[in-house]
Amino acid sequence: MSETVLETRDLTKKYNSFVAVDHLNLQVQAGEVFGLLGPNGAGKTTTILMLLGLTEPTSGSVRVLGLDPTRQPLSVKSRVGYLPDQVGFYDELTARENLTYIARLNPIPTPQLPARVDEALQRVGLREVADKRVGTFSRGMRQRLGVADVLIKNPRLIIMDEPTSGLDPEASLEFLEMIRALKREGITILLSSHLLYQVQAVCDRVGLFHKGRMVLQGTVNELAERVLGGAYRIQLQAEGDPQAIQSALQRVDGFRNIRQTGENLYTMEAARDLRPEAAQAVVQAGGRLYKLDVQTQSLEEIYSAYFKEVEHGTVQSSRVR
Amino acid sequence: MAQSNPAVSAKPQSASRPVREGSPWKGMWAVVGKEMADHLSSARMVVLEILVVLAAIGSIYVATQNISQNVSQDRFLYLRLFTTAQDPLPAFAALLAFFIPLVAIALAFDSVNSEFSRRTLSRVLAQPIYRDALLMGKFLAGLFTLALVCTALWLLIFGLGILRLGVAPGGEEVGRALWFLVATIFYGGIWLALAMVFSVIFRQPATAALTSTAVWLFFTVFWNIIAGLLAQSLSPIRFGTLGELLAQANLQLALARFSPNTLYAETMIALLNPETRSLGILLPTQMEGAILGSPLPLSQSVALIWPQLTGLIAATIVLFALAYILFQRQEIRA
Ligand SMILES: Nc1ncnc2c1ncn2[C@@H]1O[C@H](COP(=O)(O)OP(=O)(O)OP(=O)(O)O)[C@@H](O)[C@H]1O
Ligand SMILES: [Mg+2]
Tell me which chain A residue has its CA closest to the CA of residue B7. Answer: A15
Domain assignment present for residue A249? The answer is: yes
- DSSP characters for B235-296? S--SS--HHHHHHHHHHHHHHHTTSHHHHHHHHHHHHH-TT---SSPPPGGGGTTPPTTPPP
A194 and A271 in a single domain? The answer is: no
Predicted pLDDT at B5: 43
CATH number at residue A268: 3.30.70.100
pLDDT of B322 over the 90 cut: yes
Give yes or no for a contact between B208 and B199, defined as CB atoms under 8 angstroms apart: yes
Same domain, A122 and A248: no
Mean pLDDT across the stretch A23-48? 91
Mean pLDDT, range A81-92, rounded to an integer? 93
pLDDT at res. B2: 41
Q: Are both A245 and A215 inside the same structural domain?
A: no
Residue A135 lies in a domain: yes
Cα–Cα dist B146/B166, whole Å: 29
Residue with the smallest CA separation from ligand 1 atom 27 is A40
Greatest mean pLDDT among A89-98, A308-317, B2-11: A89-98
Secondary structure class of B8 (helix, strand, coil):
strand
* Contact criterion met (CB < 8 Å) for B128 and A77: yes
End position of a domain, from candidates A171, A200, A224? A224
| Residue predicted with more confidence, A102 or A255 | A102
What is the pTM (predicted TM-score) of this model? Answer: 0.85
What is the DSSP code string of A11-61? Answer: EEEEETTEEEEEEEEEEEETT-EEEEE--TTSSHHHHHHHHTTSS--SEEE
Residue A2 has pLDDT above 70, yes or no: no
Sign of the Cα pseudo-torsion (B309, B310, B311, B313, in order): positive
B-chain residue closest to A15, CA distance: B9
CATH code: domain of residue A128? 3.40.50.300
Cβ-contact A145, A134 below 8 angstroms:
yes
The model's confidence at residue B282, banded by pLDDT at 50, 70 and 90, is low
Question: What spacing in Å lies between the alpha carbon of A55 and ligand 1's midpoint?
Answer: 12
Q: Is A134 part of a structural domain of the chain?
A: yes
pLDDT band at A311 (very low <50, low <70, confident <90, very high): confident
Q: Which residues of B touch A45 (CB under 8 A)?
A: 333
CA distances from B234 to A193, B222, B246, B302 (A): 64, 18, 13, 32
Is residue A236 in some structural domain? yes
Q: How confident is the model at residue A320 (pLDDT cuts 50, 70, 90)?
A: very low
Amino acid B242: pLDDT: 83
Residues A156 and A286 in one domain: no
B287 or A186, which is more confident?
A186
d(CA A22, CA A215): 11
Residue A30, CB-side half-sphere exposure with 13 Å CA sphere: 10
Distance (Å, rounded) from C-alpha A12 to C-alpha A23?
A: 5
Query: How far, in Å, CA of A175 to CA of A171, rounded?
Result: 6
Ligand located closest to A16 CA: 1
DSSP letter at B89 equals B
- What percentage of chain A reaches a pLDDT higher than 90? 54
Q: Is B123 on the interface with A (CB under 8 A)?
A: yes
Q: Does one domain contain both A283 and A137?
A: no
pLDDT digits (tens, 9 = 90+) for A199-239: 878 899 989 888 888 888 888 778 777 777 777 888 999 99
> Helices (DSSP H) in chain B: which residue ranges?
28-41, 43-69, 77-83, 92-108, 113-117, 121-125, 131-165, 171-201, 205-217, 223-234, 242-256, 260-272, 298-329
Residue to mutate, A11, A14, A18, A210, ligand 1, most ligand atoms under 8 Å from C-beta: A18
Verify that A158 and A276 share a domain, yes or no: no
B21 closest CB neighbour out of A16, A72, A84 = A72
Whether A191 has a pLDDT exceeding 90, the answer reads yes
Residues A198 and A261 in one domain: no
Give just the sign of the alpha carbon dihedral A224, A226, A227, A233.
Answer: positive
- B107-124 b/e with 16+ CB inside 10 Å = b? bbbbbbbbbbebbbbbbb
Residues A135-172: pLDDT tens digits? 999 998 999 999 999 999 999 999 999 998 888 888 88
Last residue of one domain, picked from the residues A224, A257, A284: A224
Mean pLDDT computed over A259-271? 88
Contact A24, A60 (CB under 8 A): yes
Check CB contact of B15 with chain A, cutoff 8 Å: no
The answer to whether residues B279 and B269 touch, using CB atoms and an 8 Å cutoff, is yes
pLDDT given for residue B327 in this prediction:
94
Report CA(A161)–ligand 2 centroid distance (Å): 7
> Is B8 in the A-facing interface, judged by CB distances under 8 Å?
no
Residue nearest to atom 24 of ligand 1 (CA): A40
* Number of independent structural domains in chain A: 2
In this structure, how many other beta carbons lie within 10 angstroms of the beta carbon of residue B214?
10
Question: Which atom of ligand 1 lies at the shortest distance from residue A43's CA?
Answer: 18
pLDDT at A317: 45
Task: Tell whether B44 is within 8 A of chain A (Cβ).
Answer: no
Query: What is the widest separation between alpha-carbon atoms in chain A?
Result: 78
Mean pLDDT rounded to a whole number for chain A: 88
For residue A305, being part of any structural domain is answered with no
Q: Do A169 and A129 fall within a single domain?
A: yes
List, as own/partner pairs, every contact residues B160-164 make where C-beta atoms lie below 8 angstroms and the sequence separation is at least 24, other chains included.
Answer: B160/B57, B160/B60, B160/B61, B160/B64, B160/B81, B161/B60, B161/B64, B161/B77, B161/B78, B161/B81, B164/B60, B164/B61, B164/B64, B164/B65, B164/B68
Ligand that lies nearest to the alpha carbon of residue A44, given by its number in the listed order:
1
Domain endpoint, select from A162, A192, A224: A224
Q: Amino acid identity, residue A240?
A: G
Q: Band of the pLDDT at B53, cuts 50, 70, 90?
A: confident
- Nearest residue (CA) to ligand 1, atom 12: A20
Q: Are A98 and A89 in contact (CB under 8 A)?
A: yes
Give the model's pLDDT for residue A126.
93
Inter-residue contact B328 to B20 (CB < 8 Å): no
Nearest to A76 by CA among A54, A99, A104: A54
Residue A50 has what pLDDT? 93
Residue A59 at interface with chain B, using a CB cutoff of 8 Å? no
Residue-level pLDDT at B285: 56
CB contact under 8 A, A102 and B124: yes
- Per-residue pLDDT band for A313 (boundaries 50, 70, 90) equals low
On whether both A121 and A215 belong to a single domain, the answer is yes
Q: How many CB pairs under 8 A join A and B?
A: 86
Over residues B16-39, the pLDDT tens digits come to: 455 678 888 899 999 999 999 999
The pocket around ligand 1, CB under 6 angstroms, is made up of A 15, 18, 20, 38, 40-46, 194; B 7, 9, 331
Residues A181 and A208 in one domain: yes
| Same-domain check for residues A157 and A286 | no
Is A81's pLDDT higher than 60?
A: yes
What does the pLDDT average to over B195-224? 94
Q: Which of A100-114, B24-38, B96-110, B229-243 has the lowest mean pLDDT?
A: B229-243
Distance, CA of B153 to CA of B57 (rounded, Å): 9
What digits encode the pLDDT tens for the residues B128-183? 999 999 999 999 999 999 999 999 989 988 888 888 888 888 888 899 999 999 99
Segment among A96-110, A178-192, A255-269 with least mean pLDDT: A255-269
The protein residue with its alpha carbon nearest to ligand 1, atom 17, reads A45
Q: Is the dihedral of CA A61, A64, A66, A68 positive or negative?
A: negative
- A301 in a domain, yes or no? no
- Alpha-carbon distance of B281 to B265, in angstroms, equals 15
Nearest CA in chain A to B21: A72
Full residue range of the structural domain in which residue A264 is found? 232-296
Give A-chain residues touching B129 at CB under 8 angstroms: 74, 77, 105
Say yes or no: A176 and A281 in one domain.
Answer: no
Q: What is the pLDDT of residue B6?
A: 42
**B contacts of A149 (beta carbons < 8 Å):** 123
